[in-house]
C-alpha cells in the first residue's frame, strides 16, 4: 500500500497549485465582492487542459483520469471554491454525461468544446420538489413531430448562464412505467438542450451566501423544442445514469472540500506566526496550536478518504459507499476548519475580503450540494444493512 503520489500526479498537483497561487488567488476577492464570473481565469484553465483531464485524447481530452481531476480541484479549492466548482461542474456534470451516455454524434458535436473549456455545459436536475427525491420531478418532455417539447423549471443549476454556456442536460418525465412494486411511476429521461433553444431561459442569477463567482441560475422551459435524437442515453434511464455520475462527482467534491480545509490551515498557520497578542505571536499559545492541529487532522483524514474512494473507482471496484464517506468527511472538515480559522483570525476573519471569511461563507454548500450530509449518511447506513 503506497499513498504517495506518483511523479505524474505530483507534477500535475504542483502545477495547479502554482497556477492557483499566482493566477487565481490575486483576483479571487474582486470576483467574490463583485459577483462576477472569472472568464480570464477559466480561459487559462482551459488552455492548461484542466477541463479535459479525465477524457481521452480522441475527444480533445488529456488522456488522464478522474483522480487527476480531483488533485486539480484540491489545489484550486485551497484559494477559490468558486473557480474550483466551475471546473468540477463543467467536467462531472457538464461533459461527463455526454461522454458516458452520448451517441457518437453527440460526443463529436459537444465534447471538443467542453473538454477544451471553450464552452460549458450544465446539468438540470434540481427542482422545487425534486433533487434528492427524483420522484418529485415535474419537468415534462413529450414527443411531438420528431421533437421533444419540454416544459418545467429547474433550480440551483451551476454554469447554466455564463456567456460560454452552450448546453444544459435536463431530466424530465417522458412517460410512466410500472415499478417493481407494480405501481406506475414517472419515467425520467435526460435530454440535451442547447442554450439557444427557443423557449429555454436562464433566469436571474441567485444572490448567494457564498460561491459568489460561480454562476448559478434557475432555469425555465416553455415549449422548448429539441430534436428527438437529443435524448441522452436510454429512455427512462435518466436518473439512474445521473446517480452513477453523482458517485464520481462526490469524490470530486470531497477533493475540493479537502482543498478548502487545507487552505484554512495554511492561512491560519501564516497568521498565527505574524499576529502579536500580549507581546507574543498567537501561534505560541497552546489554545491556538491545538485548534490548528485539529484542523490539520481533519485535512489529513479527508484526503485519505477521497484517495481511498478514488483508488477503488480507478480499480473498477464498487465505490458508492466510499464516495459517500469521503464527501461526508471532507465537507464537514471544510466547514469546521472554516469556522476555526475565522476564530483564529478574530475580527479580521469577519471581513469579507479575507480568505478565511470566503471559506466560511463558501464551505456550507459543501454539506448540501451533490448530495446533502443526510443523503451520505443514508447511503452509508444502507450499505450496513440498515
CATH number of 135's domain? 2.40.110.10
3-state secondary structure of 7: helix
DSSP H/E element including 190: strand 184-194
pLDDT above 70: percentage of residues in the chain? 99
Name the pLDDT band for 287 (thresholds 50, 70, 90).
very high
- Bridge partners of 141, per DSSP, are 150
Cβ-contact 120, 50 below 8 angstroms: no
Residues shown for the chain: 386
pLDDT tens track for 6-57? 999 999 999 999 999 999 999 999 999 999 999 999 999 999 999 999 999 9
Average pLDDT of the chain to the nearest whole number? 95
Domain enclosing residue 27, as ranges = 7-119
Q: Which residue has the cell 499513498?
A: 3
CATH number of 45's domain? 1.10.540.10
In 3D space, the residue among 377, 381, 385, 314 whose CA is nearest the CA of residue 132 turns out to be 377
pLDDT tens track for 190-213? 999 999 999 999 999 999 999 999
Q: Assess whether 24 and 103 both reside in one domain.
A: yes
Residues 261 and 54: their CA atoms lie apart, in Å, by 24
What is the pLDDT at residue 199? Answer: 97
The residue from 65, 90, 119 where one domain ends is 119
Q: Cβ neighbours of residue 4 under 8 Å, at least 6 residues apart?
A: none
Burial class (CB in 10 A: 0-12, 13-18, 19+), 384: exposed
Residues 307 and 318: their CA atoms lie apart, in Å, by 14
- For the record, the C-alpha cell of 52 comes out as 479535459
pTM of the model: 0.95
Residues designated catalytic: 370
Q: Assess whether 260 and 375 both reside in one domain.
A: yes
Residues 229 and 54: their CA atoms lie apart, in Å, by 26
DSSP H/E element including 241: helix 238-274
- For the record, the C-alpha cell of 253 comes out as 467534491
pLDDT tens track for 125-169? 999 887 767 678 999 999 999 999 999 999 999 999 999 999 999
Q: Cβ neighbours of residue 99 under 8 Å, at least 6 residues apart?
A: 55, 59, 107, 111
Q: Assess whether 150 and 212 both reside in one domain.
A: yes
Residues 231 and 153: their CA atoms lie apart, in Å, by 18
Q: Assess whether 97 and 129 both reside in one domain.
A: no
Q: Assess whether 208 and 260 both reside in one domain.
A: no
Residue 306 lies in a domain: yes
CATH number of 359's domain? 1.20.140.10
- 149: number of Cβ within 10 Å: 17
Amino acid at each position: 500500500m503506497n499513498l504517495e503520489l506518483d511523479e505524474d500526479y505530483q507534477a500535475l498537483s504542483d502545477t495547479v497549485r502554482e497556477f492557483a497561487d499566482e493566477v487565481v488567488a490575486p483576483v479571487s476577492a474582486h470576483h467574490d465582492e463583485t459577483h462576477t464570473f472569472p472568464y480570464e481565469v477559466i480561459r487559462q484553465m482551459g488552455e492548461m487542459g484542466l477541463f479535459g483531464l479525465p477524457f481521452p485524447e480522441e475527444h480533445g481530452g488529456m488522456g488522464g483520469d478522474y483522480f487527476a481531476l480531483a488533485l486539480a480541484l484540491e489545489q484550486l479549492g485551497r484559494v477559490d471554491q468558486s473557480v474550483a466548482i466551475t471546473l468540477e461542474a463543467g467536467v462531472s456534470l457538464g461533459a461527463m454525461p455526454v461522454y458516458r451516455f452520448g451517441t457518437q454524434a453527440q460526443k463529436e458535436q459537444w465534447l471538443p468544446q467542453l473538454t477544451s473549456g471553450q464552452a460549458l455545459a450544465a446539468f438540470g436536475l434540481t427542482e422545487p420538489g425534486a433533487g434528492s427525491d427524483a420522484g418529485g420531478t415535474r419537468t415534462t418532455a413529450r414527443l411531438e413531430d420528431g421533437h421533444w417539447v419540454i416544459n418545467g423549471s429547474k433550480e440551483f443549476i451551476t454554469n447554466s448562464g455564463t456567456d460560454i454556456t452552450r448546453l444544459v442536460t435536463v431530466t424530465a418525465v417522458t412517460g410512466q412505467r410500472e415499478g417493481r412494486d407494480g405501481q406506475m411511476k414517472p419515467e425520467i429521461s435526460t435530454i440535451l438542450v442547447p442554450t439557444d433553444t427557443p423557449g429555454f431561459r436562464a433566469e436571474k442569477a441567485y444572490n448567494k451566501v457564498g460561491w459568489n463567482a460561480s454562476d448559478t441560475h434557475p432555469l425555465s422551459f416553455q415549449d422548448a423544442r429539441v430534436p428527438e435524437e437529443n435524448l441522452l442515453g436510454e429512455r427512462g434511464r435518466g436518473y439512474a445514469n445521473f446517480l452513477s455520475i453523482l458517485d464520481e462527482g462526490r469524490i470530486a467534491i470531497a477533493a475540493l472540500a479537502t482543498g478548502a480545509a487545507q487552505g484554512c490551515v495554511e492561512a491560519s498557520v501564516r497568521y498565527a506566526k505574524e499576529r502579536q497578542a500580549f507581546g507574543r505571536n498567537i501561534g505560541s499559545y497552546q489554545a491556538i496550536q491545538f485548534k490548528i492541529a485539529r484542523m490539520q487532522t481533519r485535512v489529513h483524514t479527508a484526503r485519505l478518504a477521497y484517495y481511498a474512494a478514488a483508488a477503488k473507482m480507478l480499480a473498477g471496484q464498487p465505490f458508492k459507499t466510499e464516495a459517500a464517506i469521503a464527501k461526508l468527511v471532507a465537507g464537514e472538515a471544510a466547514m469546521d476548519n472554516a469556522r476555526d480559522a475565522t476564530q483564529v483570525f478574530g475580527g479580521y476573519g469577519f471581513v469579507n475580503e479575507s480568505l478565511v471569511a470566503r471559506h466560511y461563507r463558501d464551505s456550507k454548500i459543501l454539506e448540501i450540494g451533490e448530495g446533502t450530509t443526510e443523503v451520505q449518511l443514508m447511503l452509508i447506513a444502507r450499505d450496513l444493512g440498515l
